[in-house]
Chain A
Amino acid sequence: MTWTTPTTSRRTLLTGGLALGAAAALPGCAYIRDDVPVAAPLPKSAKAKIDGDLVYFNWADYLDPKVLKGFQREYGVSIIESNFDSMEGMYANIAAGNQYDVVFPIAKWVVKMRREGKLRVIDHGQLKNADQVFYSGSYFNDPWYDPRSRVSVPFTVYKTGIGWRTDKVSGMTGSWEDLWNPQGARHIFTLDDQDEALGMAALRLGYDVNTAKASHLTEMKKLLVSQKRLLRAYSSDDVNNMNGGGAWIHHMWSGDFMYLRQGLVNKPQNYDFEAPREGTPINSDAYAIPTNAQHPGTAMLFIDYLLRPENAIRNINYLYYPFPVRDAVATFTELAKEVPACDIDVKDLENPDVFRLLSTKEVQARTAAWTEVKAS
């Protein structure tokens, strides 16, 4: 490698300085154009009829492949699959103009995309199985994230609680305090997820899971830092952390726990799950059709197909997450009968502990707190 002579660095500095001066002359100049519309009118619903192959955009491995194959066979179309790894990634792809026919946003992202006019109305009258989720008295007739479910159809629901090894620790109290259980010292994991980790601390302190108040954040930060001497790591790979033996107490998602206990380990009786009494975040994912979808008709049929109880049941047995499809609810209750804490009742959905769409200022304040927790 050749090392630079002093002349270079002087010249580089000079160039940098000039550019700096130029920028100082334009303070406040927008760096990326900020032209996202808000409160856009809702684009009209499509008719449920085949209008092409289905471009499908979901988390990886998040529906039973057999169910997908069944749709292709029955309707004679193929499914072109793409995956996202985070809600930010999903949103960025759609915002960049990529065309998908069906997407699977988390509730708070439905709020954002509906507001920006990025989702089409889904006419319930077009769905033969609509009454499986929109029956009289159903929570989803008017969920918090999508008034009257105009642009979304519920997909799964899940809660966040604590999974633990009954052969390693005892004295679990049914409170978030259990993530501080000294018996699990150095074998406790907290989810590496800003909303979940901050939400857990907020619940333990009796605050709203979405709080961004400075005084609350300071307390939550202290609380989370106090957990560090007992904590093994922050990680979202909850299934493998438990399965690998490193985790005895894990802040985890109900569906992951079900998969671990019923689908993976040899001694399920050594694993248990609790939904702490201070409150547990219950969130939901939805099906939605982007405004720029090329085959919204096929997407309508696809959603309708997934609402069929037999398909919901197959997906439940594959994913281990509950589906709020009326005639499939019993299947999950049966699956979860040894761990009823993982089950989610319809009335559980009237739950204040959902992650809401926050302003940038609030997100930044929360990120700063979470960053300090992880950095210290």
Chain B
Amino acid sequence: MARAKKLERKPLVAVVVTVLFFAWLYVPIFAVALFSFNDKKSLSAFSGFSTRWYVDFFHNEALLESLRASLLIALVSAVGSLVLGTMLAFGLERVRSRRGRVVGAITLLPLVTPEIVTGVAALLVFTGAGLKLGLDTVILAEITFSIAYVTVIVRGRLASFPLEVEEAARDLGCTPWQSLRLVTLPALVPALIASGLLVFALVFDDFVLAFFTTGVDPQPLPVRIYSSIRFGVSPAINAVGTLMLLVSALLIVAALMLPRLFKSRSSSLDLITGGERR
């Protein structure tokens, strides 16, 4: 912190923009939270406090099914992409062949492809292969899309991990798999958790891919929300939004607490933002 003090005084413009930015960021969120407690159906005038929309939500089997479906999709996608993305990160980081670079480029393509393209393409490949569209297809598409995030984050951490430690383990008699399991993987845990949380959160709220790859019921939550807002939304949706906000806030706080749990210097948030490789 001493470093910051030596800098020039705070740049006024930046501070003002930041304050305005936070206001802009949170106004609609407060509106959502506020109107989720409105006692009337209106979304523009608050007439009185009521929890009826939460009651509605918890009695709406279709919405609950969607919520469960989205949680399942996010969980399976996070685990699946963690496994594949970590394998890929290792392969790419340790195999420095031309073929490795080609594979590396391919896996990063989803990051530079607009989601609508990925969505359309996934729809075509699934229907073409005769798969029944449903939660399975959504999960397949989401994993494909998320592998790149895991790879980028884990690979970054792996690059900063001194290979000598692993070599030392092998000099002490470990097999390559043992040195991987006992030495390298534990060091990667914060990165794994961070990327798992990131993928979970991204997939849970992902609309475009889910929209194109979903089929039979239950619909993922964002798809259900989309279909209800086209024709005017019920405040039960605001209740859902408020609950989702709470859940994601908890997830982020968990991510912030991670470094304390693992006694590492840097926050796992740094992993997500890329600040780790300083």
A and B touching (Cβ–Cβ under 8 A): yes
CB-based contact A1/B230 at 8 Å: no
1/0 contact string of B23-49 vs chain A (CB within 8 Å)? 000000000000000000111100000
CB-based contact A80/B127 at 8 Å: no
B222 at the interface (CB under 8 A from A): no
Q: Which residues of A contact B228 (CB under 8 A)?
A: 60, 85
CB-based contact B230/A2 at 8 Å: no
Is chain B's interface secondary structure helix, strand, loop, or mixed overall? helix
B153 to chain A, nearest CB (A): 12
A12 to B105, CA, bound (A): 11
CB-based contact A243/B42 at 8 Å: yes
A8 to B152, CA, bound (A): 19
A61 to B230, CA, bound (A): 14
A18 at the interface (CB under 8 A from B): no
Q: Which residues of B contact A11 (CB under 8 A)?
A: 102
A264 at the interface (CB under 8 A from B): yes
CB-based contact A240/B232 at 8 Å: yes
Q: Which residues of B contact A4 (CB under 8 A)?
A: 105, 108
CB-based contact B230/A237 at 8 Å: yes
A282 at the interface (CB under 8 A from B): no
Interface positions of A from 75 to 110, Cβ below 8 Å from B: 80-86, 89, 92-93, 96-98
Q: Which residues of A contact B229 (CB under 8 A)?
A: 237
B106 at the interface (CB under 8 A from A): yes
- Closest chain B residue, CB of each to CB of A260: B232
Among candidates B41, B60, B216, residue contacting A264 with C-beta atoms closer than 8 Å: B41
Q: Which residues of A contact B218 (CB under 8 A)?
A: 82
A32 at the interface (CB under 8 A from B): yes
CB-based contact B102/A237 at 8 Å: no
A89 to B108, CA, bound (A): 33
Q: Which residues of B contact A27 (CB under 8 A)?
A: none
A227 at the interface (CB under 8 A from B): no
B133 at the interface (CB under 8 A from A): yes
1/0 contact string of A269-305 vs chain B (CB within 8 Å)? 0000000000000000000000000000000000000
1/0 contact string of B227-252 vs chain A (CB within 8 Å)? 11111111000000000000000000
A81 to B128, CA, bound (A): 31
Known A-B contacts A1-B112, A98-B217, A244-B44; A82 and B62 likewise in contact (beta carbons under 8 Å): yes
B169 to chain A, nearest CB (A): 28
A236 at the interface (CB under 8 A from B): yes
A359 at the interface (CB under 8 A from B): no
CB-based contact B230/A92 at 8 Å: no
Among candidates B108, B217, B230, residue contacting A82 with C-beta atoms closer than 8 Å: B217
Q: Which residues of A contact B98 (CB under 8 A)?
A: 7
- Closest chain B residue, CB of each to CB of A31: B128
- Closest chain A residue, CB of each to CB of B105: A4
A285 to B14, CA, bound (A): 57
A360 at the interface (CB under 8 A from B): no
B61 at the interface (CB under 8 A from A): yes
1/0 contact string of A11-34 vs chain B (CB within 8 Å)? 110000000000000000001110
A309 to chain B, nearest CB (A): 27
Most chain A Cβ neighbours within 10 Å, of B133, B232, B234: B232
CB-based contact A240/B132 at 8 Å: no
- Closest chain A residue, CB of each to CB of B132: A96
Known A-B contacts A11-B102, A96-B216, A98-B216; A85 and B61 likewise in contact (beta carbons under 8 Å): no
- Closest chain B residue, CB of each to CB of A12: B106
Q: Can you name 16 extra interface pairs (CB under 8 A) apart from A8-B102, A32-B128?
A: A1-B152, A2-B105, A11-B102, A32-B130, A60-B234, A61-B234, A80-B61, A82-B218, A83-B224, A85-B230, A89-B227, A93-B215, A96-B134, A97-B216, A98-B217, A237-B229
> Can you list 10 A-B contacts with CB-CB less than 8 angstroms, sorted by A residue number?
A1-B112, A7-B98, A32-B127, A60-B234, A61-B234, A83-B62, A83-B227, A96-B216, A240-B232, A240-B233
Hey, which bits of chain A sit against chain B, CB under 8 A?
Answer: 1-5, 7-8, 11-12, 31-33, 60-61, 80-86, 89, 92-93, 96-98, 236-240, 243-244, 264
